[in-house]
């Protein structure tokens, strides 16, 4: 009985979704999980005969991207968990994506096959090699139609470049290079070359005892191929220009908001650590997520954010218990909608929040099977912070901290969002009248 429980637990754990990402057209949605698998969903073509099935997403391809490995030199296990997936823009019939675990980045080609060659000379129909002495005539193999098969092949493996755990990857707008980032370094790769990478940021101190901050995320500018930004555990963001120097240790912009001394606590350093950084689609803004807030920064203003949104400020008084149960280390992501007018991020109890930057309105929604049937409209949720709890409100103490939404993604053009709630993926679309 005990063994059964253990196995079940590990089975479920491997199913926990660790990343979600739409491709640049929104046609495909990829998810990575703790078991090292990638599942790609494809949007159905909208058909006139079934207008209510307004382009649903179905499984398109599933493959094992990373396997658990063991580093014998350091005597440690390398987890197969997929930390990040990034799509390359489509250039031909095949789709390409980068997936990474803690140590290795892989380029996958996902392609369709609906024909297969038949009539080989040296192989028979079952694939067995024929004895050359039995071949008396030659024929040209022909392509015969077959059932559609989607296959994923690893085209490149970018390995052995990171001593610390990779936390992010980002494809450059030049479509030739990408960066991979670990706790202390950012490496620049060419998509064609796997045995060499350039280190462009290195914040490792000469003496590790003097370490004060680590890199938490990095991203290329959406249009400027020479610009990238990286966030730190101290709550700052640095913008770097690769044209300035080979090693971008000197930033050209430094974004940081001074700490409010009145809110100082034991956990100030933890809650100010940035867990995600995203450029807006128009390239004019940066968005950062720390434990309690989302901030939008204007690239032209370094000393303070343009906007600050409180995600779940009611947790400020619970930091001690959140520290005890490790929830305070959760890394929430944030995402822009296609027009950069709305931002979204996750919270606990399977809640996720959207903030409209123009109207300044915000909404809390819940991703759960119990509360939403297919095609049902999501009801806004509210957390009661004190005083009398109204009906339909949920009190802070009732929040389930094991149900967290860390990963979300927004369709590049439409109002379709994908939300990962532990081992479940929810896809929500705008209401159709």
Tell me if 14 contacts another protein by CB under 8 A.
no
Tell me if 324 contacts another protein by CB under 8 A.
yes
Torsion of CA 265, 270, 272, 276, to 10 degrees: -160
Q: Quick one: 83 or 280, whose CB is closer to another protein? A: 83
Tell me if 70 contacts another protein by CB under 8 A.
no
Query: Shortest approach of another protein to residue 72 CB, angstroms?
Result: 13
Residue with the two structure tokens 């903030």: 355
CA 130 to chain centre: 48
With CA atoms as reference, report the closest residue to 229 among 275, 297, 278, 167. Answer: 278
Tell me if 401 contacts another protein by CB under 8 A.
no
Q: Quick one: 103 or 353, whose CB is closer to another protein? A: 103
Is 218 within 8 Å of 168 (Cβ atoms)? yes
Tell me if 199 contacts another protein by CB under 8 A.
no
Instruction: Tell which positions 228-257 bind another protein, by CB under 8 A.
Output: 233
Residue with the two structure tokens 């809110």: 263
Tell me if 273 contacts another protein by CB under 8 A.
yes
Tell me if 104 contacts another protein by CB under 8 A.
no
Q: Residue 379 has which token pair?
A: 């009801």
- Can you tell me the distance from the alpha carbon of 14 to that of 35, in angstroms, rounded to the nearest whole number? 4
Tell me if 268 contacts another protein by CB under 8 A.
yes
- Label residue 302 exposed, middle or buried (CB < 10 Å: 0-12, 13-18, 19+): middle
Tell me if 19 contacts another protein by CB under 8 A.
no
Task: Report the residue from 112, 241, 269, 362 that binds another protein according to the rule CB under 8 A.
Answer: 269
The secondary element (H helix, E strand) that includes residue 12 is helix 2-14
- Can you tell me the distance from the alpha carbon of 279 to that of 224, in angstroms, rounded to the nearest whole number? 11
Is 272 within 8 Å of 235 (Cβ atoms)? yes
Query: Shortest approach of another protein to residue 268 CB, angstroms?
Result: 8
Q: Quick one: 83 or 347, whose CB is closer to another protein? A: 83
Q: How many residues bind another protein (CB under 8 A)?
A: 41
Is 19 within 8 Å of 82 (Cβ atoms)? yes
From 191-199, 312-320, 381-389, 412-420, span contacting another protein (CB under 8 A)? 312-320
Backbone angles phi, psi at 5, to 5 degrees: -60, -45
Tell me if 140 contacts another protein by CB under 8 A.
no
Which residues lie near another protein (CB under 8 A)? Answer: 71, 73-74, 76-79, 81, 102, 163-165, 167, 183-184, 204, 208-214, 216, 233, 265-270, 273, 317-321, 323-324, 326, 329
């Amino acid at each position: 009985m005990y063994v059964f429980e253990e196995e079940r637990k590990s089975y479920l754990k491997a199913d926990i979704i660790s990343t979600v990402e739409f491709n640049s057209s929104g046609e495909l949605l990829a998810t990575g999980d703790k078991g090292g698998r990638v599942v790609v969903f494809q949007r159905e073509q909208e058909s006139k005969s079934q207008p209510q099935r307004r382009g649903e997403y179905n499984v398109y391809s599933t493959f094992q991207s990373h396997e658990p490995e063991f580093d014998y030199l350091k005597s440690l296990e390398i987890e197969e968990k997929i930390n990040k997936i990034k799509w390359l823009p489509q250039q031909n019939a095949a789709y390409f994506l980068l997936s990474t675990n803690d140590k290795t980045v892989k380029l996958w080609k996902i392609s369709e096959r609906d024909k297969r060659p038949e009539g080989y000379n040296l192989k028979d129909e079952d694939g067995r090699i024929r004895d050359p002495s039995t071949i008396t005539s030659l024929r040209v193999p022909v392509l015969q139609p077959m059932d559609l098969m989607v296959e994923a092949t690893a085209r490149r493996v970018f390995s052995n470049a990171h001593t610390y755990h990779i936390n992010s990857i980002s494809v450059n707008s030049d479509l030739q290079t990408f960066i991979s980032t670990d706790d202390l370094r950012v490496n620049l790769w060419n998509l064609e070359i796997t045995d060499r990478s350039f280190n462009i940021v290195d914040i490792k101190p000469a003496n590790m005892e003097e370490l004060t901050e680590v890199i938490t995320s990095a991203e290329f500018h959406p249009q400027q191929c020479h610009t990238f930004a990286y966030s730190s555990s101290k709550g700052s963001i640095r913008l770097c220009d690769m044209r300035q120097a080979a090693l971008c240790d000197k930033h050209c912009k430094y974004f940081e908001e001074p700490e409010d001394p009145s809110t100082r606590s034991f956990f100030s350093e933890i809650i100010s650590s940035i867990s995600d950084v995203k450029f807006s689609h128009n390239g004019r803004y940066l968005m950062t997520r720390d434990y309690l807030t989302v901030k939008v920064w204007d690239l032209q203003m370094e000393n303070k954010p343009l906007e600050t949104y409180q995600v779940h400020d009611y947790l400020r008084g619970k930091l001690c218990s959140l520290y005890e149960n490790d929830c305070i280390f959760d890394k929430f992501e944030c995402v822009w909608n296609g027009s950069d007018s709305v931002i979204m991020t996750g919270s606990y109890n399977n809640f996720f929040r959207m903030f409209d930057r123009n109207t300044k309105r915000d909404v809390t929604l819940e991703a759960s099977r119990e509360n939403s049937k297919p095609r049902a409209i999501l009801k806004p949720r509210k957390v009661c912070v004190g005083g009398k709890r109204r009906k339909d409100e949920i009190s802070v103490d009732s929040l389930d901290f094991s149900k967290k939404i860390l990963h979300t993604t927004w369709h590049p053009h439409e109002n379709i969002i994908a939300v990962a709630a532990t081992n479940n993926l929810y896809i929500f679309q705008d209401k159709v009248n």
